[in-house]
């Protein structure tokens, strides 16, 4: 069987194999209790106190008994170190090592320790959050909210239009640059009289 420090995958691997019908039924009951406890954990506000029903005994009454008897009360935590049953510290969410080491603590079920329970819950939470994040990113790209998605969503015609605009701007820049060079050249020719001589030479050829 799974020892006190066994992790969830090992326990699940050995779970239903070689168990009697009674043991399998107890495991299913324990799993149901664990889900009830998870519901209680998320529904009870931090710092609030869990009120025990009139038929429920105090958690400390189950000290030095057994893990199964202790965890019949959904508000109890069992520690294998000193065989102690205590009220679950709701105000801290996760029990500290000073209360009980996580690998020796049991809550809800006895066949999985608290450390493995946290890892399993983290994996399940990640598997739930990952599709949600992917859906949000897909919706943002679909609505062109992200700047990077806007660039990717440009159509072929829009890209051609942008390219043609850039080419036209470069063409106008070259024309302006050539016009400035010609204006400076003509100014130099006028300054040294070269432009007048060339005009006179042209008129001389025309007269001939």
* Tens of pLDDT, residues 144-193: 655 555 555 556 667 788 888 899 999 999 999 998 888 888 888 887 77
Question: Would the pLDDT of 1 be above 50?
Answer: no
* Ramachandran area for residue 51 (φ above 0: left; ψ -120 to 50: alpha; else beta): beta
How far, in Å, CA of 62 to CA of 69, rounded?
Answer: 7
Asked if 38 and 93 sit in the same domain, the reply is: yes
Domain co-membership, 36 together with 94? yes
Instruction: State residue 27's pLDDT score.
Output: 59
**What is the C-alpha separation between 142 and 136, in angstroms, rounded?**
10
Q: What are the structure tokens assigned to 33, written together?
A: 């209790």
Q: What is the pTM of this model?
A: 0.40
Is residue 129 one of the residues assigned to a domain? no
How far apart CA 171 and CA 176 sit, in angstroms, is 9
Q: Is residue 185 part of a domain?
A: yes
In the structure, what pLDDT confidence band is assigned to residue 7 with cuts at 50, 70 and 90? very low
Write the DSSP symbol of residue 44: S
- Residue % of the chain over a pLDDT of 70: 60
Mean pLDDT over each residue of the chain, to the nearest integer? 72
Any domain includes 1: no
Is a pLDDT exceeding 80 seen at residue 70? yes
**Domain limits at 186?**
156-207
pLDDT confidence bin for 85, thresholds 50/70/90: very high
pLDDT of residue 90: 81
Angstrom distance (rounded) from CA 145 to CA 159: 19
CA distances in angstroms from 116 to 102, 157, 194, listed in the order given: 9, 56, 95
Q: Are residues 20 and 108 in the same domain?
A: yes
Distance between CA 79 and CA 65 in Å, rounded? 11
Number of domains, the chain = 2
Q: What whole-number distance in Å separates Cα of residue 66 and Cα of residue 118?
A: 23
Q: What is the pLDDT of residue 147?
A: 59
On whether the CB atoms of residues 62 and 73 are closer than 8 A, the answer is yes
Per the CB < 8 A criterion, the answer to whether 70 and 76 are in contact is yes
pLDDT of residue 50: 44
pLDDT band at 29 (very low <50, low <70, confident <90, very high): low
> Considering the domain boundaries, does residue 151 fall inside one?
no
* Contact between 94 and 122 (Cβ < 8 Å): no
* CA–CA separation, 149 and 136 (whole Å): 13
Judgement on whether residues 179 and 100 belong to the same structural domain of the protein: no
* Domain assignment present for 35: yes
- For residues 101 and 168, membership in a common domain is answered with no
29/52 Cα distance (integer angstroms):
21
What contacts 82, CB < 8 A, 6 or more positions away? none
Single residue among 122, 148, 182 that ends a domain in this structure: 122
In whole angstroms, give the CA distance from residue 88 to residue 174.
79
Q: Say if residue 72 is in the same domain as residue 163.
A: no
- Residue among 26, 107, 103 nearest 70 (CA): 107
């Amino acid at each position: 069987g799974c020892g006190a420090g066994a992790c969830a995958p090992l326990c699940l691997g050995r779970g239903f194999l070689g168990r009697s019908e009674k043991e399998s039924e107890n495991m299913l009951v324990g799993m149901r209790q664990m889900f009830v406890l998870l519901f209680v954990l998320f529904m009870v506000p931090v710092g609030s106190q869990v009120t025990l029903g009139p038929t429920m005994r105090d958690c400390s009454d189950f000290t030095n008994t057994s893990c199964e008897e202790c965890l019949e009360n959904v508000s109890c935590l069992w520690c294998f170190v000193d065989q102690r049953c205590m009220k679950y510290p709701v105000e801290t969410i996760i029990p500290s090592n000073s209360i009980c080491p996580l690998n020796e603590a049991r809550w809800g079920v006895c066949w999985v320790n608290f450390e493995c329970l946290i890892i399993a819950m983290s994996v399940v939470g990640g598997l739930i959050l990952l599709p949600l994040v992917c859906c949000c990113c897909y919706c943002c790209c679909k609505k062109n909210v992200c700047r990077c998605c806007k660039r990717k969503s440009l159509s072929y015609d829009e890209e051609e239009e942008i390219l043609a605009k850039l080419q036209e701007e470069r063409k106008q820049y070259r024309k302006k640059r050539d016009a400035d060079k010609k204006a400076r050249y003509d100014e130099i020719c006028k300054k040294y009289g070269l432009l007048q001589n060339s005009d006179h030479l042209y008129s001389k050829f025309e007269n001939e």
